[in-house]
Amino acid sequence: MLPAEIIKSEGKDTLAERATVHNISREGLKLIINFMNLQPGSNVELKIFVPEKKISTLLSGEVTWNKFIDDKLEVGLKITEIDEAFRNEVLNWVFPKWLKTEEEEEEKK
């Protein structure tokens, strides 16, 4: 999970709505939002933070799906624009953590 802020949605400035990034990949991510409703087909600008590495970047994406789970909105976002060096650094940092989690889950079975 990475903290994020929604900067704009559909060209409207937003009051830095807080969100959390889950399941990031080269092409997309899952975003968890508390208060904002984003519809499929809408465009979004985010700022993503990686506190452990003290880095952040802006990215743009298109909402591909959404669903409410409890009182939060889950959104699938197809990344349309991101700094490539940031993407590589985040994926290289996240992937080993994901592998470790998967291995721990397998050991529990």
Q: Are strands 72-82 and 2-9 parallel, antiparallel or unpaired?
A: unpaired
**Spatial separation of the C-alpha atoms in residues 105 and 88, rounded to whole Å:** 26
- pTM of the predicted model, to two decimals? 0.76
Contact 85, 107 (CB under 8 A): no
Dump pLDDT digits (tens) for 74-105.
Answer: 999 999 998 888 877 777 776 665 555 556 66
Taking only the tens place, the pLDDT of each residue in 36-71 is 778 899 999 999 888 888 888 889 999 999 999 888
Domains in the chain, please, with CATH?
Answer: 2-108 (2.40.10.220)
